[in-house]
């Protein structure tokens, strides 16, 4: 315990690094609380080591709380936007580009059912297609194939 008190600024920096590691590796940035407290602890420890803050428990708690709150206020919105950014990209799984024959008429805005590769799919198109037309799969979503005439 005496070692911790003797090296209090270094202890705060190490504690802040531990908080950051837990946030990143264990929680995967799902909460930002440990991130903000970790950054606050590191900065408070550095300020103590540089002599800007007294090496007391009270100043450590107060400094960490204030710096964590400031970091949270400054970075909350950018981090929230980063976390909520959804990337939409088409995954090519080998079915895109495959062809088959339509068994029934397919009207624009409507879907028909088609059994393909052992699964019943809903098939849609941006153009009206009649039964017997050979179509190519151009896009695949969950349970829905988008096709066009070959």
pLDDT confidence of residue 117: 76
Q: Which domain holds residue 26?
A: 2-84
Query: What's the rounded Cα separation, in Å, for the pair 59 and 40?
Result: 12
> Dihedral through CA 104, CA 109, CA 113, CA 117, nearest 10?
110
* Same domain membership, residue 109 and residue 73: no
d(CA 131, CA 102): 5
CATH code for the domain of 144: 2.40.50.140
Q: Does 90 score more than 60 pLDDT?
A: no
* 79 lies in the same domain as 25: yes
**In this structure, are 65 and 39 located in the same domain?**
yes
Of the listed ranges 29-38, 85-94, 139-148, the least confidently predicted one is 85-94
Q: Say yes or no: 61 and 9 in one domain.
A: yes
Distance CA 145, CA 139 (A): 6
Q: What is the pLDDT of residue 73?
A: 95
Q: Is 65 within the bounds of a domain?
A: yes
C-beta neighbour count of 89 within 10 angstroms: 5
On the question of pLDDT at 134 being above 80, the answer is yes
- Mean pLDDT for 24-34 is 86
Question: Residue 89 has what pLDDT?
Answer: 62
Q: How many CB atoms lie within 10 A of CB 116?
A: 13
Whether residue 93 is contained in a domain is answered as no
What local confidence, expressed as pLDDT, does residue 92 receive?
61
CB 122 within 8 A of CB 143: yes
Q: Is 98 exposed, middle or buried (0-12, 13-18, 19+ CB in 10 A)?
A: middle
Residue 94 domain-assigned?
no
Together in a domain, 121 and 58: no
| Same domain as 70, residue 128 | no
Long-range contacts of 22-31 (CB under 8 A, 24+ apart): 29/83
pLDDT at 88 > cutoff 80: no
Residue where one domain finishes, among candidates 55, 84, 113: 84
Q: Do residues 8 and 60 touch, judged by C-beta distance below 8 A?
A: yes
Residues 13 and 71 in one domain: yes
- When pLDDT is averaged across residues 91-104 and rounded to a whole number, the result is 82
- As given in the structure block, the two tokens for residue 123 are 């098939």
Percent of the chain with pLDDT over 90: 65
Q: How many domains does the chain have?
A: 2
């Amino acid at each position: 315990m005496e070692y911790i008190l003797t090296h209090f600024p270094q202890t705060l920096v190490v504690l802040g690094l531990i908080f950051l590691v837990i946030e990143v590796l264990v929680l995967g940035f799902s909460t930002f609380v440990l991130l903000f407290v970790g950054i606050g602890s590191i900065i408070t420890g550095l300020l103590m080591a540089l002599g800007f803050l007294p090496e007391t428990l009270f100043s450590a708690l107060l400094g960490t709380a204030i710096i964590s709150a400031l970091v949270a206020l400054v970075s909350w919105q950018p981090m929230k936007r980063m976390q909520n950014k959804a990337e939409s990209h088409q995954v090519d799984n080998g079915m895109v580009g495959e062809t088959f024959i339509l068994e029934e008429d397919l009207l624009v805005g409507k879907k028909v059912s088609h059994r393909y590769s052992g699964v019943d799919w809903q098939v849609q198109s941006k153009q009206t297609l009649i039964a017997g037309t050979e179509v190519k799969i151009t896009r695949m979503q969950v349970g829905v194939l988008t096709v066009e005439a070959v």
